[in-house]
Amino acid sequence: MRAGPKAAVDGSPLPFRPRSTGAMRFAKFCEKFIVTPKGTGARKSFRLRPWQVDLVGSVLDAEVQPRTAGWALPRGQGKSTLVAALGLYDLMLGEEGASVVVAATDERQAGIVFRTAARMVELNEDLASRVQVFKSELRVPERGASFVCLPAEPKRLEGLDFTLAILDEAGVVSRDTYEVLTLAQGKRERSTLIAIGTPGPDPHDNVLADLRMYGSEHPEDATFVWREFSADEFRDHPVDCRHCWELANPALGDYLHADALTALLPPKTREATFRRARLCQFASETDGAFLPVGTWDSLSTGEGIPDGAAVVLAMDGSFSDDTTALLLGTVSSTPHFDVLRVWEKPVGDDSWRVPVAEVEDEIRSACRRWQVVEIIADPFRFTRTLQVLEGEKLPVVEFPHSPSRLTAATGDLFSAAVNGQMSHSGDPKLAAHVAAAVIREDARGIRLDKASRSRKARKIDLCACLVMAHSRATWRATRKPRRKTRSFAA
């Protein structure tokens, strides 16, 4: 194929004069110039499926072309082929001096889309005669247009002036990368950043999840569009549910083969990983280091705690820049747990503090709704609140987080979970906090801990509440309560 700056190129316009516009014009371009480079249909004309036309149409058919598009799809839908073709479309037929940028977690990942595009150029004579191919760039000299791939490193993305940017694997790239790319816009009358990918390991803390939430909260924003193919509303369905497979995978039965999905079902892969990658579900890693695969999900009943039940109330967190959580557990030898409330620091708000009075009012309200026999917390973090509540004659119990106490309580919780001697409501925040917890082991035994001390590390406050609540709920169920209001945890 012709390649390099010295190769002769055809400077004439691409022979393409369709009457259609928008996504249908793109579909005609693909049919005439794009050859499928690999997989099902390899070496044949790339004909867009209706769902692909609709997806691209969310950008190309909009009354005002959006500045940002978020696309969430499971793996195996041919998204690299689709966005490579879309990049070539802008390269060849976009505005004069078009600039297409592909960024991903690293240069290898970005290279997947780029190499797909380069192969498409090679397989079509009209494209190959007009495009210069370099190691990491496609160039059309006559139009001053370029198509480049870059690693998702903010410093490498500064100063861009793109007409189309494709941020691949948006579920795992950093926010800094996304912000550098999106803030590069404004120099062109039209430019679009398409963030595409599958949900990341932390379903609540990634670029794709942020875009999804923004789209649901601001449907009126014409500068933004969100599209997803997922079975996220059916996370309670088993992983082999055909309805979910068909809902999330528009390519199923076409160029995505069902036997491949069957071959990857848990336990060959972890359940949460399969749900994210193949069902595009924003699922928590509930089968991580703390509990065996599938254990946490098997304990869910989908039910809360009835009013008036005898419960313990555990509190963990801080009042500065962290998360503060309240958890309820029934007094029983096989307790049932549910989240009462969680306060979380808003992203980017360094002045935020947990509303202490609101936390205390929530506890008072719980005491009126249920028969709260103990309010449990580590006194190191909650001295003032515990004093206030104790002064109101509420049943405060201190649970100092000493290594020996946490070791025993963590071991008891683990044993109860794996033996089915506890249950929970299925609250997704509780699942996420349990998933984020890891085990630290030393000569004294096992203890619950965070995977990282970074401020960006996933939170485990509800899991810490679970350790305390389980310890006190089971103790209360097997022993007579003490007469004093205040006591130290046994």
Residue 293 pLDDT > 90: no
**Angle at the Cα of 143 from the Cα atoms of 151 and 14, rounded to 5 degrees:** 105
- Report the CATH architecture of 22-229: 3-Layer(aba) Sandwich (3.40)
pLDDT digits (tens, 9 = 90+) for 179-189: 988 988 888 88
What would the pLDDT profile of 18-39 be if each residue is shown by its tens digit?
999 999 999 999 999 999 998 8
Indicate whether 327 pLDDT > 90.
yes
Confidence of residue 445 (pLDDT cuts 50, 70, 90): low
Q: Regarding predicted confidence, which is higher, 423 or 9?
A: 423
Query: By mean pLDDT, which of 58-62, 76-80, 156-160, 276-280 is the weakest?
Result: 156-160
User: What percentage of residues in the chain have a pLDDT greater than 90?
Assistant: 57
Would you say residue 305 has pLDDT above 50?
Answer: yes
Q: What is the 3-state secondary structure (H, E, C) of the chain?
A: CCCCCCCCCCCCCCCCCCCCCHHHHHHHHHHHHCECCCCCCCCCECCCCHHHHHHHHHHHCCCCCCCEEEEECCCCCCHHHHHHHHHHHHHHHCCCCCEEEEEECCHHHHHHHHHHHHHHHHHCHHHHCCCEECCCEEEECCCCEEEEEEECCHHHHCCCCCCEEEEECCCCCCHHHHHHHHCCCCCCCCCEEEEEECCCCCCCCCHHHHHHHHHHHCCCCCCEEEEECCCHHHCCCCCCCHHHHHHHCCCECCCECHHHHHHCCCCCCCHHHHHHHHHCCCCCCCCCCCCCCCHHHHCECCCCCCCCCEEEEEEECCCCCCCEEEEEEECCCCCEEEEEEEECCCCCCCCCCCCHHHHHHHHHHHHHHCEEEEEEECHHHHHHHHHHHHHCCCCEEECCCCHHHHHHHHHHHHHHHHCCCCEECCCHHHHHHHHHEEEEEECCEEEEEECCCCCCCCCCHHHHHHHHHHHHHHHHHHCCCCCCCCEECC
pLDDT at 207 over 60: yes
* Domain made up of 297-479: CATH architecture: 2-Layer Sandwich (3.30)
pLDDT tens digits for range 87-118:
999 999 999 999 999 888 777 777 888 999 99
Q: What is the pTM of this model?
A: 0.62
Domain boundaries, the chain: 22-229, 297-479
Percent of the chain with pLDDT strictly greater than 70? 88
pLDDT tens per residue across span 118-131: 999 999 999 999 99
